[in-house]
Structure 1
Amino acid sequence: MPQMRLRVIGSEDDARAIGNLLASIDGIEHVEEVADLMPRLDDADSSSAGLPDDMGPGTHELEVGAANRAAAGRVREAVEALAFDLDVLVEFETDEDWHDA
């Protein structure tokens, strides 16, 4: 089963819209928001806390399990189109065993 991880740079609503889209695609076995294991350097007592540069959109990690390569391809196409419409950034990370180089 192909596994994809998506990093959505946007609001909670943007991530929810992308998650809902993913759940509606044929051949998708699961969609799950997972915790981001990358520590963020935004301590509340930092000298830069509260600056405008720290108040950007959130980061959301989604894990997607697809039944086959065709479904995984549909995920990428659909998410790219929705991300463009929502004006959010989406990064894709895929398993190498199904991804064509």
Structure 2
Amino acid sequence: MPTMRLRVTGSEDDARAIINLLQSLDGIEHVEEVADLMPHMDDADSSSAGLSDLRGGSDVHDVEIEAPNEATARKVRETVEALAFDLDVLAEFDEDED
């Protein structure tokens, strides 16, 4: 069973829209937003240190998806790419999928 990892850079509403769409796909066994264990901190020596908003209002959301087979995994990728384009957000799949 392929476990896919997806990183969505966008608002909370954008991430929720993608998660809701994934949950509605036939055959998807599990969709969950997981905690990002990497801290996203400013470098104190960075030229952008201390700026109020470095990402333009976007947040990073990590999502884990379990699909029953490769065909469904392909459908997940195609569906997420289409919705991400419509929402104007960045969606990246981790290439180290199981």
The answer, yes or no, to whether TM exceeds 0.5 is yes
Cα distance in 1 for partners of 2:95, 2:54 equals: 30
Report the CA distance between 1:68 and its aligned residue: 0.7
SS in 1 for 2:36: coil
Determine if the alignment matches structure 1 residue 78 to structure 2 residue 79. Answer: yes
Determine if the alignment matches structure 1 residue 61 to structure 2 residue 62. Answer: yes
Q: How many residues align?
A: 95
Cα distance in 1 for partners of 2:6, 2:77 equals: 10
The percentage of aligned residue pairs carrying the same residue is 67
Q: Specify which structure has the higher proportion of strand.
A: 1
Q: TM-score, normalised by structure 1?
A: 0.83
Matched with 1:49 is 50
5+ residue gaps in structure 2? none
Q: TM-score, normalised by structure 2?
A: 0.85
Determine if the alignment matches structure 1 residue 31 to structure 2 residue 39. Answer: no
SS in 2 for 1:8: strand
Bigger mean CA offset, 67-76 vs 49-58 = 49-58
SS in 1 for 2:86: helix
5+ residue gaps in structure 1? none
Q: 1:68 to 1:40 in 2, by over 3 A?
A: same
Per-residue CA deviations over 1:40-96 (Å, capped at 9, x if unaligned) read 1149xxx93343425530000000000111110100000000000000000101455
